[in-house]
Amino acid sequence: MSRARRSLDWGFPRWRPYGASREATTVRLCDRHGCEEPGDCPAPKSPNSPERWYFCQRHAAEYNSKWDYFEGLDKAEKAARAKAEQAESAGYAEAQHYGWSGSGDGSRSADEMRALEVLGLEADADIAAVKKAYRAHAKEVHPDVRPGDAEAAKRFQAYQTAYEVLKQAEERREWKG
């Protein structure tokens, strides 16, 4: 009666090196003629077909750039399918309100985002862009430039408040950092 020999793969540490008894794995090459890179990006051979081409990343990008999802359909069928595709993905657009309220990485407060919006800047604007935008807007509506214009004075006050909010936030960041 022969006893089964215990494998050397048990326990920790392993008693033999990793990959010592592994066989060579076969790698599927890119289906593009003449390409020797691994074909790890599947691409459909035709719409609604289970058959796939397997391309390298470069050839998959080239193939997808010319891909027409609606190939072989007439105009009415194309429109119906496009509408159905959009209806299926509309849920993602409806759920946007669960994300950030505005663009940015979350490092700016809601007040800062509103201030950037007043100055017409993107969420990633730095303090130099803020100063430049504030000065440009303030020159247009300054009370010395437009005396007696109540609307201009109101807009100037909004620009000034927005600049102060952003300047103080930048000073707090510098002080903390």
Condensed to tens digits (0 to 9), the pLDDT of residues 11-55 reads 666 566 666 555 667 888 998 889 999 988 888 887 677 888 888
Would you say residue 11 lies in a domain? no
pTM: 0.42
Would you say residue 83 lies in a domain? yes
Buried b (16+ CB within 10 A) or exposed e, 112-149: bbebbebbebebebeeeebeebbeebeeebbeeeeeee
Would you say residue 10 lies in a domain? no
Same domain, 83 and 116: no
Residues of the domain holding 83: 72-99
d(CA 123, CA 118): 12
Same domain, 142 and 129: yes
Domain containing residue 117: CATH number = 1.10.287.110
Would you say residue 1 lies in a domain? no
Q: Is the pLDDT of residue 9 over 50?
A: yes
Same domain, 88 and 129: no
Q: Rg of the chain's alpha carbons, rounded to an integer? A: 31
pLDDT band of residue 151 (cuts 50, 70, 90) is: very high
Would you say residue 87 lies in a domain? yes
Would you say residue 6 lies in a domain? no
Phi then psi for 41, rounded to 5 degrees? -115, 105
Total structural domains in the chain? 3
**Residue pLDDT, tens place only, 60-104:** 888 877 777 777 788 898 888 888 877 776 666 655 555 544 445
Phi then psi for 55, rounded to 5 degrees? -115, 160
Would you say the C-alpha torsion 161, 166, 169, 174 has a positive or negative sign? negative
Same domain, 51 and 86: no
Same domain, 91 and 41: no
Tokens of 43: 């691409």
d(CA 86, CA 109): 33
d(CA 157, CA 68): 53
What's the pLDDT at 42?
87
Same domain, 160 and 116: yes
SS percent in the chain: helix, strand, coil, step 5: 50, 5, 45
Same domain, 165 and 130: yes
pLDDT band of residue 129 (cuts 50, 70, 90) is: very high
Would you say residue 95 lies in a domain? yes
